[in-house]
């Protein structure tokens, strides 16, 4: 990058500021960009796109000799993104937002529940290129290195410029204990649901369940991830089922127009 200014990168997550994956990514990217970290003050997995801004936030600097700006916010991942882009770094031209790396996959329907994905989605709402990064729960050091290498490539080669406005990439890395790493594949979002059930213990109901690989559809992120691929799923903010507009209008005209 000789003779050029470094990109400005915002990094958020949902596992909280104490996540070693967060620090590893921020430290690695700091050799290639100006990195700004705003992470939740506590673990926020599964909060999806909830936000707590109306309740008030507390912002704190994280003490330590870090090669990046490091803050915690009492809020969710989407809070961290919103606060950073619209207030804390409003005078910084942020080039790209990374959310993660998460400890646990966020493919398929997991992306709907994911705070990690919401951190990237919030950036997309504001028109910033963004990526959600997730490792499988028992990720090896090798897979983390692949994730770091991927993130560096995105920054160095400015691949984030390939992400259209109001879209983002949901990127998941496979479990090497189950399948040898097979490389990267673009993939659609799977819609296979969990086998959710609740167990009663000490007067409380606890959720448990898992995805069933036999139900995974062809070329979906769930299936390809199970086959050892790192998957890149482009997602969009517009959730309109455009093919459904005409049928809905027909219902409106038949039953609701007076």
Structural domain contains residue 79: yes
Instruction: Tell me the two tokens of residue 136.
Output: 């499988």
Q: pLDDT tens digits for 107-159?
A: 999 999 999 999 999 999 999 999 999 999 999 999 999 999 999 999 999 99
- Checking phi first, is residue 170 left (phi over 0); if not, alpha (psi -120 to 50) or beta? beta
Q: What is the pLDDT of residues 71-90, one digit of tens each?
A: 999 999 999 999 999 999 99
Q: Is residue 2 situated within a structural domain?
A: no
What pTM was computed for the model? 0.95
Residue 38 within a domain: yes
Q: Across the chain, what does the average pLDDT equal? A: 96
Instruction: Say if residue 102's pLDDT is above 90.
Output: yes
Q: Encode burial over 140-150: b for 16+ CB neighbours within 10 A, e otherwise.
A: beebbebbbeb
Domain assignment present for residue 3? The answer is: no
Q: How many domains are contained in the chain?
A: 1
Q: What is the pLDDT of residue 198?
A: 97
The pLDDT-based confidence of 2 (bands split at 50, 70, 90) is low
Task: Report the CATH number that the domain containing residue 193 is assigned in CATH.
Answer: 3.40.1210.10
Q: What domain range includes position 91?
A: 8-255
- On whether residue 61 sits in a domain, the answer given is yes
């Amino acid at each position: 990058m000789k003779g050029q200014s470094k990109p400005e990168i915002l990094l958020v997550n949902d596992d909280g500021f104490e996540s070693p994956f967060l620090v590893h990514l921020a430290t690695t990217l700091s050799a290639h960009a100006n990195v700004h970290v705003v992470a939740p003050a506590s673990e926020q997995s599964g909060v999806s796109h909830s936000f707590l801004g109306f309740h008030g936030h507390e912002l704190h600097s994280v003490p330590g000799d870090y090669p990046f700006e490091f803050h915690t916010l009492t809020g969710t991942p989407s809070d961290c993104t919103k606060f950073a882009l619209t207030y804390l770094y409003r005078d910084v031209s942020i080039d790209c937002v990374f959310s993660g790396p998460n400890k646990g996959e966020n493919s398929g329907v997991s992306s709907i529940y994911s705070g990690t994905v919401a951190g990237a989605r919030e950036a997309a709402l504001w028109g910033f290129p963004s990526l959600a990064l997730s490792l499988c729960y028992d990720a090896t050091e090798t897979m983390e290195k692949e994730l770091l290498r991927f993130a560096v490539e995105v920054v160095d080669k400015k691949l984030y410029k390939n992400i259209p406005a109001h879209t983002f990439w949901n990127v998941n890395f496979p479990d090497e204990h189950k399948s040898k790493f097979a490389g990267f594949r673009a993939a659609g979002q799977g819609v296979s649901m969990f086998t959710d059930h609740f167990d009663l213990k000490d007067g409380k109901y606890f959720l448990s369940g898992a995805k069933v690989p036999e139900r995974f559809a062809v070329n979906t992120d769930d299936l390809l991830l199970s086959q050892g691929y790192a998957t890149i799923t482009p997602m969009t903010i517009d959730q309109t089922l455009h093919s459904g507009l005409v049928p809905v209008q027909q219902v409106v005209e038949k039953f609701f127009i007076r």
